[in-house]
Structure 1
Amino acid sequence: MFADFLKRLTDPQPEQLHDDDARLALTALLVRVARADGVYDAAEAQRIDRITTARYGLSPEAAQDLRAQAEELESQAPDTVRFTRAIKDAVPYDHRIAVIEALWLVVLADHDRDAREDALLRLVSNLLGVSDVDSAMARQRVEDKE
């Protein structure tokens, strides 16, 4: 189902993602980070639903459907490096900072910062071209809200 989408996403010269494709790719990245510690629980899934509901103005049902599609895409997606690089090429910098904030919201959903999640988030931030300072500030903004 996602073979063509993944091919386009990981093309050496990816084209700008359409809104629906960008939503799916970014939600799949949220799922990837949530699964990084080997435990993908209801709190993380619900947090992803809340993020997509708020970010994209979706109904709860549409957010759950998007997450289900993203879970499938994430399981088929290539390594994090190529997947994230494709998102970087398709999403403006200020939106990538918002993505980092959303990723931190997912990591902190279970109130347990796992070293694997932290490591993946550092890698993803770097691959998205988000500076260490901006990533740290994004984490701090999220922690202040928690």
Structure 2
Amino acid sequence: MFERLFPRRKAKAPPLPQPNAQLALGALLVRVAFADRQYRASEVGQIDRILAATFGLKPLEAAKLRATCEALERDAPGTPEFARILRDEVPYTDRRALAQAMWSVALADGERDADEEVMLENIEEALGLSADDIADARKTALNDD
């Protein structure tokens, strides 16, 4: 009875942090994984491993970062804005490595998906990678598969 008289209000979610290179990378990795409308445990694990290795995080820290990136990916700017942050803050050679990491997320579930590949191509172009580097990243990823 009291619930009807005094309904509980949902607590407001804390505001999302301003994207930086770390959050932008995580959000783009999540975006690649979601591109096929399936978010599998293998993709989540791969994202966590990439975040841990890239930023020197412990597994729990990487998982927390990924959770923040998931929220950011849902509610924040589009791919071009995230890519701009990475273009501004990450050297070109490291952006090429990021493309490889994104491919590893897309292929983590053991399946190739056209939507994921289109998303990857859009991100790679937005990162300012050359056509040759995009082709190399794709070729390397598919040969490792």
State the Cα distance separating 1:40 from its structure 2 match: 0.8
Query: 5 Å matches for 1:1-146?
Result: 1-2=15-16, 5-6=18-19, 21-146=20-145
TM-score normalised by structure 1 residue count: 0.82
Is this contact kept in 2: 1:125–1:132, CA < 8 A? no
State the Cα distance separating 1:25 from its structure 2 match: 1.4
Please, what is the CA RMSD of the aligned residues? 1.6
* Percent identity of equivalent pairs: 46
Distance 1:118 1:143 in 2: 11
Q: 1:126 to 1:143 in 2, by over 3 A?
A: same
Q: Please tell me the residue identity of whatever aligns with 2:99.
A: I
State the Cα distance separating 1:119 from its structure 2 match: 0.6
Is this contact kept in 2: 1:36–1:117, CA < 8 A? yes
TM-score normalised by structure 2 residue count: 0.82
The C-alpha deviation readout for 1:71-114, integer Å capped at 9, x for no partner, is: 11111122222332232222211111111011000000011111
Aligned residue pairs, count? 131
Query: Which structure dedicates a bigger proportion of its chain to helix?
Result: 1
Is this contact kept in 1: 2:33–2:43, CA < 8 A? yes
State the Cα distance separating 1:140 from its structure 2 match: 2.9
Distance 2:113 2:51 in 1: 23
Q: Which residue of 1 aligns with 2:9?
A: none
State the Cα distance separating 1:144 from its structure 2 match: 4.1
Distance 1:83 1:51 in 2: 17
Q: Please tell me the residue identity of whatever aligns with 1:64.
A: A
Distance 1:145 1:114 in 2: 16
Structure label with greater radius of gyration = 2
Distance 1:29 1:79 in 2: 9
Q: Which residue of 2 aligns with 1:9?
A: none
Query: Equivalent residue of 2:107, what SS?
Result: helix
Q: Which residue of 1 aligns with 2:4?
A: none
Is this contact kept in 2: 1:49–1:67, CA < 8 A? yes
The C-alpha deviation readout for 1:14-51, integer Å capped at 9, x for no partner, is: xxxxxxx3212111110011111111111100010111
Query: Equivalent residue of 1:129, what SS?
Result: coil
